[in-house]
Amino acid sequence: MLSLDDVRRAATRIAPYLPPTPLRRSFAVGTPTFLKLECWQPTGSFKVRGAINHLLALDARDAERGIIAASAGNHALGVAYAAQALGGRVQATLVVPESAPRAKVEKLRTFPVTVVESGANYDDAYAESVRIATRTGQRYVHAYDDALTAAGQGTAALEILDSLPEVGAFLVPVGGGGLISAMAVAAKALRPDVRIVAVQPEVSPCLRASLQQGKALHEFPTGDSLADGIAGGIGDIVYEHRALLDDVVEVSEAAIEDAIVALLASDQVVAEASGAVGVAALRSGRWTPRDERPVVAVVTGANIDARVLARILPPRV
């Protein structure tokens, strides 16, 4: 189980590398809502918090052996940025599927990391990364189901509480669940009355299903979703911290599209679908506050494909 001290130690580690992200009032939601703009991180995603914390916490032996991770998205960019921020002291290998968008792969290659393209999809890339790690002894840096990674991600909660101590609720997108687990640990330790609201796409209600079945569903069949970054299974870490979650809600694809457009039009914030689901829950009425206190929607990422954005934007925007 994570602790407040884990998150505080992570905050101390990453402070020299990542300044706090803004907490800004939203005009896209009628309820007094603030946006935690993790989409303004240097890699466009909160994932960089966990990656930097993990690499900084390595002991000398692990640092010498290097690290490896599988991802074609925000986690890969976070690990690559962390490796660069540490001056190349830790050698990083990133395994991406051959289907990964060329733009992301080329972006990864600008960092001081080794990029290996393998397999048709993420599962194939993950399997290859495990094989490489077994052969080389490199430490695996998991995107969410890891205490160091999650603790780094959870530092966003400390920043929110520092800036808005009267906050009544956090609305947090949930994919694997590392972010919400550590945010909940920190928030409940400091402010037990803050509600922790988990948000997922309707086509991938894995967290609710896991709670109903009494176990973490690591794999989960899902329909097509704009929020593909948070579709699929959850990790053990969020299931183990399930008692800290107050509400679990799902949002429709139409609500997600609406939230992306509203964030851009009203708040001048570019958000990927996975990062917009908290705002979607508020705008669609799938979750409403229980009192007059302000709420915070964590906008977890900005890495939306330009073609997707062009498709969903109405002509007037």
**DSSP character string of 252-297:** -HHHHHHHHHHHHHHH-----HHHHHHHHHHHTTSS--SSSS-EEE
How confident is the model at residue 204, as a pLDDT?
A: 96
Q: What residue segments make up the domains of the chain, in order of their start?
A: 4-45+147-312, 67-137
**DSSP character string of the chain:** ---HHHHHHHHHHHTTT-PPPPEEE-SS-SSSEEEEEGGGSTTSBTHHHHHHHHHHT--HHHHHH-EEEE-SSHHHHHHHHHHHHTTT-S-EEEEE-TTS-HHHHHHHTTSSSEEEE-SSSHHHHHHHHHHHHHHH-PEE--SSSSHHHHHHHTHHHHHHHHH-TT--EEEEE-SSSHHHHHHHHHHHHH-TTSEEEEEEETT--HHHHHHHHTS--SS------S-GGG-S---HHHHHTGGG--EEEEE-HHHHHHHHHHHHHHH-----HHHHHHHHHHHTTSS--SSSS-EEEEE-B----HHHHHHHS-TT-
How confident is the model at residue 107, as a pLDDT?
A: 86
Which CATH topology does 67-137 take?
Rossmann fold (3.40.50)
β-pairing, 67-70 vs 139-140, is: parallel
Tell me whether the CATH fold assigned to 4-45+147-312 matches the one assigned to 67-137: yes
8 A C-beta contact, residue 160 and residue 194: no
With b for 16 or more beta-carbon neighbours within 10 A and e for fewer, the 261-282 pattern comes to bbbbeebebbbbbbbbbbbbbb
Sheet with 92-96: strands ordered across: 114-117, 92-96, 67-70, 139-140
Looking at domain 4-45+147-312, does it have CATH number 3.40.50.1100? yes
d(CA 119, CA 132): 14
Tens digits of pLDDT across the chain (317 residues): 999 999 999 999 999 999 999 999 999 998 899 999 999 999 999 999 999 999 999 999 999 999 999 987 899 999 999 999 999 899 999 999 887 777 778 889 999 999 999 988 777 888 999 999 999 999 999 999 999 999 999 999 999 999 999 999 999 999 999 999 999 999 999 999 999 999 999 999 999 999 999 999 998 988 889 998 899 999 999 999 999 999 999 999 999 999 999 999 999 999 999 999 999 999 999 999 999 999 999 999 999 988 889 999 987 65
Length of the chain: 317
How confident is the model at residue 316, as a pLDDT?
A: 63
How confident is the model at residue 292, as a pLDDT?
A: 95
- The closest of 106, 57, 111 to 80, measured between CA atoms, is 111
CB contact set of 251 (below 8 Å; sequence gap of 6+): 199, 200, 201, 202, 259, 277, 280, 281, 284, 286
How confident is the model at residue 82, as a pLDDT?
A: 97
How confident is the model at residue 11, as a pLDDT?
A: 98
How confident is the model at residue 126, as a pLDDT?
A: 87
How confident is the model at residue 130, as a pLDDT?
A: 93
